[in-house]
Amino acid sequence: MVYAATAVLGVGALGVATVAAKRYIQHAVLAEPPTELHVTAASDASKKVDALLQQFAYDHLYKADDYVHTAGQQPGIAVLSVTGQTHWQSGVTLVLKVTGHGTERGADGSLITERDAPICFRLQLGPETDDRDNDITCPPTTPLQITKDPSLDGVDNRLPPALRAAGPHEPAVRAALAALHLDPAIHQDVITQNNRVGVALRATQYDCIIIRITTKDVQLWRPSHTQLSPGELPCSAGLALGPEFKTYPH
């Protein structure tokens, strides 16, 4: 009786498996192959993900919040979901929707059509190895709202004439900075020491301008990415007046 029951169960399972296989084969036969437009859009989106992963490594990221924040700063990349806390403990999984630019060309290479298309990726970062799934089905998820970072782009050329007129006088320096109407999210640090004024403007950890103002001149310095890495130099006004001002990366 036990063997008979087992046999019946086996036949039933086989029948289910056969039906499932037939459905899979039917779907595979009926499914249309990806269009050239989709393939080229996926390729373009994949390059953006490559660049993002390089940025993660360059910035020494390991926390889930930092991965999300950095991904959300990149044009054409939206974060759909995140799980995990850190790279080496829980591992971090990101699902991204990336805008890829797709094209379709004729046999002679002429452009027939082009348009942007959303391509989704799953990134598994740690805990032991990193992996990724390209061109997955995009989940019906609203992208996370990520605040865009301020930027110091274009500020360098505006600072010297404004601060040269102020001279090494802290109230005048603060007034000159206010007159530039910088993004309020840019952190400003100003100190005075021995008839010199030090200024630090920080948009992000790696976007920093250090300024030394004396009776003779105004000197600007952008510390390198290496110098601003965690555990290295701070983006502070004290750095403008210390011996490390304008030092080379070690």
pLDDT tens sequence across 77-131: 999 999 999 999 999 999 999 999 999 998 988 888 999 999 999 999 999 999 9
Higher per-residue confidence, 59 vs 250: 59
The stretch 8-32 carries a mean pLDDT of 42
Determine the Cα–Cα distance for residues 47 and 41; give it in Å rounded to an integer. 10
Percent of the chain with pLDDT over 70: 87
Residue 2: what pLDDT? 34
Which residues are within 8 A (CB) of 121 and not within 5 positions of it... i.e. 6 or more apart? 45, 46, 49, 95, 96, 98, 132, 133, 134, 135, 136
Looking at residue 250, its pLDDT comes to 57
Q: What pLDDT score does 71 carry?
A: 98
With CA atoms as reference, report the closest residue to 221 among 209, 235, 229, 213.
209
Question: Percent of the chain having pLDDT more than 90?
Answer: 80
**C-alpha closest to that of 196 among 177, 218, 178, 180:** 218
- 13: confidence class by pLDDT, cuts 50, 70, 90: very low
pTM for this entry? 0.78
Q: Is the pLDDT of residue 62 over 90?
A: yes
Q: Please, are residues 101 and 113 in contact by the beta-carbon 8 Å criterion?
A: no
The pLDDT value given to residue 31: 57
Q: Please give the residue that has the higher pLDDT: either 249 or 197.
A: 197
Tell me the average pLDDT of the chain: 88
Say what the pLDDT of residue 40 is.
Answer: 96
- The answer, yes or no, to whether residue 24 has pLDDT greater than 70, is no
pLDDT of residue 6: 31
pLDDT over threshold 60, residue 138: yes
Q: What is the C-alpha R_g of the chain?
A: 28
144: pLDDT strictly greater than 90: yes
Is residue 44 very low, low, confident or very high in pLDDT (cuts 50, 70, 90)?
very high
Residue of 194 and 248 predicted with greater confidence: 194
Nearest to 221 by CA among 247, 241, 246, 203: 246
